[in-house]
Amino acid sequence: MINLNDGYADVLSKISSSSATPGGGSVAALTLAHAHALGMMVSRLTLGKEKWLEGQDFARKVIESSTEGIKRALSLADEDASAFDAVIDSYNLPRDNDSQKSIRAEAIVSSTINAALVPLEIMRASSEFLQSIIGLSKTGNAYALTDLLASSELAHASSRIASYNVRINLDSLDDTDEKKNISQEMETLQNASVTSYSTIESTILERLKWD
């Protein structure tokens, strides 16, 4: 019998502690990992089934990409926590003289930019995953469509959660070309996520014959 509490309790304990990390960005990455896992499950339930012959290639591609996608998502969860810890560390640098103040100010800007770039990468990964399951939503095992819909919901949520972390870090930065570029990519990824998710949702609901 599978014990789904194995490992989960420790992760949830760390998230629920008074420490700021792991926080929302890490949760966004872990949410994406779950989306990948469900997508792979639906793919494996599609493979080798003559009834779902049309979905075989899509299923194989999802399994291949999501195998690496899970590793990437888990790595991003750690990276996000480390990035925020670096921001806190930069604020704690000494500022007893002008030289120290300058070093501290540069460290704050650099670490804050990185703290925005990591969740932006989570958004990229979420967008890529949603794109990867569009074909499966049209041709995958019909008996597992709600699982694929759940997968797309998780990936979409992952992108939205990550966007909050991008924005909160950008808010503390002065206006620069780099800030503008990050903000523009964030908006582009948000729109792409919404478009892909809406396509998957409408496709699955139509296949389920749900109004």
Q: Model confidence over 106-120: pLDDT tens digits?
A: 999 999 999 999 999
Q: What is the pLDDT of residue 1?
A: 60
The CA-atom distances, in angstroms, between 206 and each of 62, 139, 144, 202, 203 are: 22, 12, 14, 6, 5
Tokens of 75: 């790595």
Tokens of 158: 């992952």
Contact present, 93 and 104 (Cβ < 8 Å): yes
Contact present, 90 and 108 (Cβ < 8 Å): yes
Contacts of residue 201, Cβ cutoff 8 Å, sequence gap at least 6: 149, 152
Q: What is the pLDDT of residue 98?
A: 97
Low-confidence ranges of the chain (pLDDT < 70): 1-2
Q: What is the pLDDT of residue 7?
A: 82
Q: Around Cβ 58, how many Cβ atoms within 10 Å?
A: 23
Q: What is the pLDDT of residue 3?
A: 73
Among 18, 19, 22, residue whose Cα is nearest residue 33: 22
Question: Percentages helix, strand, coil for the chain, rounded to the nearest 5?
Answer: 85, 0, 15
Q: What is the pLDDT of residue 179?
A: 97
Q: Domains in the chain and their CATH numbers?
A: 21-208 (1.20.120.680)
**What sign does the CA torsion over 124, 128, 129, 134 have?**
positive
DSSP 163: H
Q: What is the pLDDT of residue 203?
A: 98
Distance, CA of 81 to CA of 133 (rounded, Å): 28
Distance, CA of 91 to CA of 200 (rounded, Å): 43
